[in-house]
Structure 1
Amino acid sequence: MSRFVRRLRSLPLRSRLALLVATAVAIAVAAVATICWFIVRGQLYGQLDSNLRSQSHSVSSDQVNFITDNCNQRVPGYIHFRGPTVQVIYTSGRVCTTPDAPPIPVQSADLAVAQGTSPSALHTTVDRAGTRMRVLTLPVVTSDDTRVAGVAVSLATPTSEVTKPLTTLAWVLLLVSGIGVLGAGAAGLWVARSGLRPVDELTNTVEHVARTEDLTVRIPVEGDDEIARLSSSFNSMTASLASSRELQQQLIADAGHELRTPLTSMRTNIELLSRSEATGRAIPPEDRKALMASLKAQMTELAALIGDLQELSRTGLAGSEGTIRVVALHDTVRTALERARLRGPELTITSELAPWYVRAEPASLERAIVNLLDNAVKFSPPAGSVEVVLMRGRLTVRDHGPGIPDDELPYVFDRFWRSQTARALPGSGLGLSIVARTVESCGGTVELGAAEGGGTVATVQLPGAPTPPPDIPDVP
């Protein structure tokens, strides 16, 4: 059995499907043919028994007496017309059979009828000539319905009246079954080819994509069956892969563009310092100090850009290197506010923080809040103010800077995007993108819009609760 299963699995899917269809149809046809044969057999035997019972009424006492008088003797001129063989049975087991007919073996059921302990007997046996007979045994009754004690009469007819039609029927059913199985095999092969044609198209498309890396190929979707769903899913997958590749290429191009500027400036400053050392022409102290400050600022900007790129390169939840746990959002905002006050000591930063607990990766959440506050500090005017409010999971950060034009609001969360007013300020253009990524991974939303009276207001909504939940295991 296991060898058959291994061989079956080694066949192509199309051949397996055709073989399984043919096997299923063969089993069904065989079952139907067998049931049909047994039903016809039962009907034919029932009709044969019914004929025997109806013919038993024509057996008269005179005929019984004739058979008894000529018990197993040859009667000259006797002609046995077509009909059942009649045999008289005595309780002693002695039998008298129709002249010129072979005796029929007596069974215990026949003797029970002769002894009066059984009303009738019906069975199949073989006579002494080797013919298979259907035998009906009944008591002998006189014309006045009086039963003759110690005697019974058996009527027997060859079962060939049943077996011959059954044999013919068996051959017909076998022929029809064979034709049905062959037809089922052909139909199964056709169904397999037709049903697997979309799979072949999908396979060819996958091989084409693997060979050419062309993610623009799409499979036509027809209907709404499983194959159509598979094709639709494949199209969605290739579209997602194409989009991911495009975003990756865009990220590489944008990162290269952003890295080129500080690197070019650093190379220029370093070449200037090297030329000064090589020629012996010293750079004035003030210029040298400004040059070194520029190098330091460019290195800081480059390190920040690389850090932001590393943050964006993480997969899964924001900060997949950390662990998701219950975080006190108000404490995280409070810590970020301390850092923001150090970066903008001349600013007035006010806060109103209500307790709120969320599930997040602590380091990534803190970085996102710091980026949001840094953005407000960066665009606030000197001696300006920043208001931070956390109430029922809604965090708002409002500054009084120049604001963001309405036509630029749809792009503020794109990677490396920077408004015209921010291009002269330090930054990589990745801060708000990191904020959006982190907030979305926590199941929240973030928006940036114009504030009443000028400036910008950032709104972050995170799901959570004002009280810490019961002990919940950390999610790695």
Structure 2
Amino acid sequence: MAADRPAPAGPGRKGPLAWFRSRPLRSRLALLTAVAVAVAVAAVSLACWFVTREQLENEMDSSLRGTRLDASGVESLLALCHRGTTPPPLAGSYTVQVILAGGGVCTSGKAPIPAGPGDLAVARGQLGDVLHTVKDDAGREMRVYTYPQEGPPGIAVSLARPLSEIDNSMSTLRWVLLLVSGIGVVGAGAAGLWVARTGLEPVNRLTGAVEHVAATEDLTVRIPVEGKDEIARLSRSFNAMTAALATSQDRQAQLIADAGHELRTPLTSLRTNVELLVRSEETGRAIPPEDRRALLASVKAQMTELASLIGDLQELARPDTERPGPLAVVPFHTILRTALDRARLRGPELTFVTDLAPWYVRADAAALERALVNVLDNAVKFSPPRGTVEVRLMRGELTVRDEGPGIPAEELPHVFDRFWRSPSARSLPGSGLGLSIVARTVEHAGGTVAVAPAEGGGTVATVRLPGAPTPPPDTLQGRA
């Protein structure tokens, strides 16, 4: 026959811990407070009960030891017993018993008390005195003190008091302690619930704010911050989070608006050119070959501009915390030479003066090359015909100087903003995203970038990247 096994906990069964966890936080705090107070009160009550009982027993023992029956009283008690008369109880709650060495007993009280071996040993002179607890013939527990009687040996006197005196007092004390403990536990639970409600009020406000943001997507909600405790820190963190989310949302909206504005111009021009070509095919009126070639060249240029703009948007749409690719140790000077080759193709009439010292950095090679091309393209775009572009790389500091018109001081703070272009450069090709991509790439590589007016005219762009003039001894490309 299989042994009985406890039924498994099913969906409808919950253990005490699961039930406790399912309660609201304020209820759990109140319950924990009540339990803690109940344990403390129980411990104090038990300690008080045992200490009081011990104290009462010590007082009873002292009372018994301090009471003595004189010789005349002992003789009178023995005389009554010899005549066969039952001695009347003495005044008070004491029971007096005379014990003879032979085992005879004469008792003045409600019921005789059995004489134990210790009592007989005192009567025979073998012990000085003895104190013990025993039940009398009526079944009452008695505290008995036996001492030898002065005079002729062979007689001992036992004085006894019922322990019910202590039990009655302890019973009263027990009920008092239970009443006080119950009131204390209930009061502690109520106080714990009040403290929990008061202490969790800021959490309730925070919860309400979070629920409001989740329901309405309103990121302007702010929680009042009071004090410097953990709740205040949590409120400040929530306010900072909503502010950051609102800023991110605004930047996304601005990016979409700027992207739509930038895409509108090439798309409009592209649609106009395509419509002219379609109309020529539909009407049968041929466009002169030179005009047709110009239209196709314009369409090609606009398609290239759109592709470049979309690529820039994809680059900037990536979160700021996401790196463009795996970082590796790459030769900065070699990537710069490749970017210079591309820049020379875009400005064949310009003169490039270069001085490149070896420098190895930890970066994404493709993203770094694109950023360098953007920096050089800016110099090519703003350089006058037959101008000179100076490119120098020394100990991780790249400087690119052109001989263009320069950038006004009031426009310098905006050169790295997305879609920002100087009013004087609105007629030139570009989307205004190049320097934004440069700043993003350089920051991901742990460097800095700056643009400033050059002495004697023109503009100088400075890119600084941490690294070393020689590659690591083990490999040129290490993991990030």
Please report the TM-score for the alignment, with normalisation by the length of structure 1.
0.87
1:448 aligns with 2:451: yes
Give the match for residue 306 of structure 2.
Answer: 302
1:80 aligns with 2:90: yes
Deviation per CA, 1:73-121: give whole Å up to 9, x if none.
86456441225434456788x3635323433345566677678887665
Which residue among 224, 228, 248 is the counterpart of 1:224? Answer: 228
Displacement after TM superposition at 1:367 (Å): 1.9
Contact 2:141 2:164 survives alignment (8 Å): yes
Structure 1 residues 40 and 77: CA distance shift in structure 2, 3 A: closer
| SS of residue in 2 equivalent to 1:395 | strand
| SS of residue in 1 equivalent to 2:446 | coil
Question: 1:67 and 1:263 mapped to 2: Cα distance?
Answer: 133
Displacement after TM superposition at 1:67 (Å): 5.9
Structure 2 counterparts to residues 73-152 of structure 1, below 5 A: 75=85, 78-82=88-92, 84-87=94-97, 94=103, 96-105=105-114, 121-138=130-147, 140=148, 142=150
Structure 1 residues 369 and 111: CA distance shift in structure 2, 3 A: farther
Structure 1 residues 459 and 63: CA distance shift in structure 2, 3 A: farther
Contact 1:87 1:95 survives alignment (8 Å): no
Give the match for residue 51 of structure 1.
Answer: 63
Contact 1:344 1:377 survives alignment (8 Å): yes
Deviation per CA, 1:359-400: give whole Å up to 9, x if none.
333322222222222222222222222223333333322222
Give the match for residue 353 of structure 2.
Answer: 350
| SS of residue in 2 equivalent to 1:204 | helix
Contact 1:72 1:96 survives alignment (8 Å): no
Deviation per CA, 1:19-57: give whole Å up to 9, x if none.
2222222222222222222222222222222222323xx
| SS of residue in 2 equivalent to 1:358 | strand
Give the match for residue 248 of structure 1.
Answer: 252
1:457 aligns with 2:466: no
| SS of residue in 1 equivalent to 2:400 | strand
Aligned residues: 466
Structure 2 counterparts to residues 319-334 of structure 1, below 5 A: 319-320=323-324, 322-334=325-337
1:429 aligns with 2:437: no
Structure 1 residues 9 and 74: CA distance shift in structure 2, 3 A: farther
Question: 1:79 and 1:211 mapped to 2: Cα distance?
Answer: 88
Structure 1 residues 125 and 398: CA distance shift in structure 2, 3 A: farther
Give the match for residue 27 of structure 1.
Answer: 39
Give the match for residue 194 of structure 1.
Answer: 198
Give the match for residue 4 of structure 2.
Answer: none
Contact 1:18 1:192 survives alignment (8 Å): yes
Which residue among 283, 291, 295 is the counterpart of 1:291? Answer: 295
Structure 1 residues 469 and 188: CA distance shift in structure 2, 3 A: farther
Displacement after TM superposition at 1:228 (Å): 1.9
Question: 2:83 and 2:146 mapped to 1: Cα distance?
Answer: 22
Deviates more, 1:12-21 or 1:66-75: 66-75
Give the match for residue 402 of structure 2.
Answer: 399
Question: 1:62 and 1:175 mapped to 2: Cα distance?
Answer: 50
Which residue among 417, 441, 452 is the counterpart of 1:438? Answer: 441
* Structure 1 residue runs without a partner (length 5+): none
Contact 1:110 1:121 survives alignment (8 Å): yes
Give the match for residue 21 of structure 2.
Answer: 9
* Structure 2 residue runs without a partner (length 5+): 1-12
Contact 1:67 1:96 survives alignment (8 Å): no
| SS of residue in 2 equivalent to 1:164 | helix
Deviation per CA, 1:149-196: give whole Å up to 9, x if none.
x87654322222322222111111111111112212222222222222
Deviates more, 1:324-333 or 1:428-437: 324-333
Question: 1:399 and 1:47 mapped to 2: Cα distance?
Answer: 108
Structure 1 residues 375 and 152: CA distance shift in structure 2, 3 A: farther
Give the match for residue 159 of structure 2.
Answer: 155
Contact 2:87 2:108 survives alignment (8 Å): no
| SS of residue in 2 equivalent to 1:452 | coil
Give the match for residue 380 of structure 1.
Answer: 383
Which residue among 211, 216, 230 is the counterpart of 2:215? Answer: 211
Question: 2:76 and 2:27 mapped to 1: Cα distance?
Answer: 72
Contact 2:90 2:96 survives alignment (8 Å): no
| SS of residue in 2 equivalent to 1:98 | strand
Question: 1:203 and 1:247 mapped to 2: Cα distance?
Answer: 27
Structure 2 counterparts to residues 173-192 of structure 1, below 5 A: 173-192=177-196
Report the aligned-residue RMSD: 3.0
Contact 2:336 2:369 survives alignment (8 Å): yes
Structure 1 residues 90 and 319: CA distance shift in structure 2, 3 A: same
Contact 2:97 2:107 survives alignment (8 Å): yes
Question: 1:395 and 1:299 mapped to 2: Cα distance?
Answer: 32
Contact 1:95 1:103 survives alignment (8 Å): no
Deviation per CA, 1:400-429: give whole Å up to 9, x if none.
221111000111111000112221221111
Displacement after TM superposition at 1:229 (Å): 1.8
Contact 1:136 1:154 survives alignment (8 Å): yes
Q: Which amino acid aligns with 2:254?
A: Q
Give the match for residue 273 of structure 2.
Answer: 269
Question: 1:205 and 1:117 mapped to 2: Cα distance?
Answer: 88
Structure 1 residues 46 and 360: CA distance shift in structure 2, 3 A: farther
Q: Which amino acid aligns with 2:143?
A: R
Which residue among 406, 411, 416 is the counterpart of 1:408? Answer: 411
Q: Which amino acid aligns with 1:310?
A: Q
Q: Which amino acid aligns with 1:85?
A: T
1:257 aligns with 2:261: yes
Q: Which amino acid aligns with 2:140?
A: T
Displacement after TM superposition at 1:440 (Å): 1.9
